[in-house]
Amino acid sequence: MDCPKCHQTALLETTRPEGVVVQQCSECEGHWLTKVQYEQWQVTHPPQVATAECLSQPGLPRHTTSFNDAKAALCPECRRYLSRAKVHYPDPFFLERCNECEGYWCDRGEWDVLNHLGVSGFLEQFFDQEHQMKLREQNAANREQAQMVEKLGPALANQIMELADVLADHPAGDYALAYLVRKAAQTSEMREFRVQ
């Protein structure tokens, strides 16, 4: 079996320090997990969901994206194109998988990140559209909240977020929102009037 990224470099069976058996490339240090090897790992590593919080928690180790990460590749076992799934880490990267024979390819360092996050027993989730969509939504919401805190300060930002939740659940929430928008429009008109 040859490395899908370096070609003509043979993959060699290696046991990594954490105990997983992989097919490793001596040149790029990427590794292939066959379906059987991965399933053996899963026996002792139950599925854990990679939430947006888990992927963006403070103090995560830096990951230097491999120069191979952007390269499309063929499965070393069945020669089909590997599908790619983005892992929304602070230093994002793509995990690869063969949908045919169900092996996984990790470029250098990617497995360590996934293992550090505790999600190495549930790599399928990154190829699940619904999970990816949920992560994107959570990331967008987190960014919006961070911007609000930056612009308004934490106290007012929290009040606004609480109010937004209250109004979302209230049957006449629209009425209150319309009032706020009207009020804001009036205030900005008055500001413009003062400037002139």
Task: Give the CA count within 13 Å in the CB-facing half-sphere of 16.
Answer: 20
Alpha-carbon span 14 to 19, nearest angstrom:
10
Considering only the C-alpha atoms of the chain, give the largest distance between any 2 of them, rounded to a whole number of Å. 76
Query: How many residues of this chain interact with Zn ion, rule: CB under 5 A?
Result: 12
Q: Give the interface segment with Zn ion, choosing from 27-35, 131-139, 156-164, 179-187 (CB under 5 A).
A: 27-35
β-sheet with 11-15: strand ranges across: 11-15, 21-25, 31-33, 104-106, 93-97, 83-87
- Would you state the structure tokens that stand for residue 141, as one six-digit string? 């919401």
Q: Give the interface segment with Zn ion, choosing from 91-99, 108-116, 155-163, 181-189 (CB under 5 A).
A: 91-99
Q: Please, what is the minimum distance in Å from the beta carbon of residue 103 to Zn ion?
A: 6
Q: Give the interface segment with Zn ion, choosing from 71-79, 126-134, 139-147, 157-165 (CB under 5 A).
A: 71-79
Strand partners for 31:
24, 106
* Residue 101 within binding range of Zn ion, rule CB under 5 A: yes
Q: Please, what is the minimum distance in Å from the beta carbon of residue 28 to Zn ion?
A: 3
* Residue 100 within binding range of Zn ion, rule CB under 5 A: yes
Alpha-carbon span 67 to 64, nearest angstrom:
9
* Residue 25 within binding range of Zn ion, rule CB under 5 A: yes
Q: One symbol per residue from 31 to 70: x for binding Zn ion (CB under 5 A), - otherwise; what is it?
A: ----------------------------------------
Q: Please, what is the minimum distance in Å from the beta carbon of residue 169 to Zn ion?
A: 48
Among 28, 73, 106, 123, which residue sits at the site for Zn ion (rule: CB under 5 A)? 28
Q: What is the identity of the amino acid at 146? A: A
Q: Give the interface segment with Zn ion, choosing from 22-30, 86-94, 122-130, 133-141 (CB under 5 A).
A: 22-30
Burial pattern 19-53, b for ≥16 Cβ within 10 A else e, equals ebbbbbbeebebbbbbeebbeebeeebeeeebebe
* Residue 5 within binding range of Zn ion, rule CB under 5 A: yes
Q: Which residues bind Zn ion (CB under 5 A)?
A: 3, 5-6, 25, 27-28, 75, 77-78, 98, 100-101
